[in-house]
Amino acid sequence: MRTSARRIFPRCSILALTFALLLFGAAPLLGAEYAALEGVDRLDTVVDYTNGSAKEATLIFPAIREIYQDKSVTSLKEEPRTVIIFHGEAVNLITTDRKGKGKDHQAYEEVAKMIRQFKEEGVKMEVCMYAVKVMGVDPATLMPEIDQVGNGFIAAAGYQAQGYSLIPVP
């Protein structure tokens, strides 16, 4: 049995070594999915979110999550930073007041769950208090996970001045 084990072991080692070389040799090809990330050390993004549809948010929020969880982004030298600023009708997504939401109630609950997950994952979120006032949302009903800023446009411009890339979601 010792003899057969010796005969099998070298084959396994050669196969394992060949597989490892192929895998590591292909690694640069796997990371080359985004030519736009070439030479980038960290991906900082600010999402200017104005879409007020809870149903659409349940489709868009997972795409936002991919911005900072994609392997091409997480393999960069520095951790990504992501900010979401809620403007316009989107302030209706972040209120705990569900009156008048009717059949979309489940979608709003799903959005709230995703917002809590964003916070747990380190995403910074801000709400434009100017929009809150214009949309008639009671500030006391805003989700506590979201920081309040006077004017979301100023916040978005400030993040851009810091080097963040702006992604508008109308």
Mean pLDDT per block of 10 residues along the chain (170 residues) reads 49 43 44 84 97 96 97 96 97 87 84 98 98 97 98 98 97
Contacts of 72 (CB under 8 A, 6+ apart): 31, 33, 34, 37
What is the pLDDT, as a whole number, of residue 33? 83
> Which CATH code fits 35-169?
3.40.1260.10
What is the pLDDT, as a whole number, of residue 129? 98
Contacts of 136 (CB under 8 A, 6+ apart): none
What is the pLDDT, as a whole number, of residue 167? 97
What is the pLDDT, as a whole number, of residue 8? 47
What is the pLDDT, as a whole number, of residue 12? 46
Q: How far apart are CA 167 and CA 71, in angstroms?
A: 20
Give the residue extent of every domain in the chain: 1-32, 35-169
| Contact criterion met (CB below 8 Å) for 143 and 95 | yes
User: How far is CA 6 from its chain centroid?
Assistant: 50
Q: What is the largest CA-CA distance in the chain?
A: 82
- Reading phi first (left if > 0) and then psi (alpha if -120 to 50, else beta), residue 22 is in alpha
**DSSP codes of every residue in 61-99:** HHHHHHHHHSHHHHTSSS--EEEEEE-GGGGGGGBS--T
Q: How far apart are CA 46 and CA 128, in angstroms?
A: 14
- pTM across the whole model: 0.80
How are strands ordered across the β-sheet holding 81-86? 147-149, 124-128, 81-86, 44-49, 165-169
What is the pLDDT, as a whole number, of residue 101? 62
Predicted confidence (pLDDT) per residue in 45-64, tens digit:
999 999 999 999 999 999 99
What is the pLDDT, as a whole number, of residue 105? 85
What is the pLDDT, as a whole number, of residue 3? 52
What is the pLDDT, as a whole number, of residue 133? 98
What is the pLDDT, as a whole number, of residue 54? 95
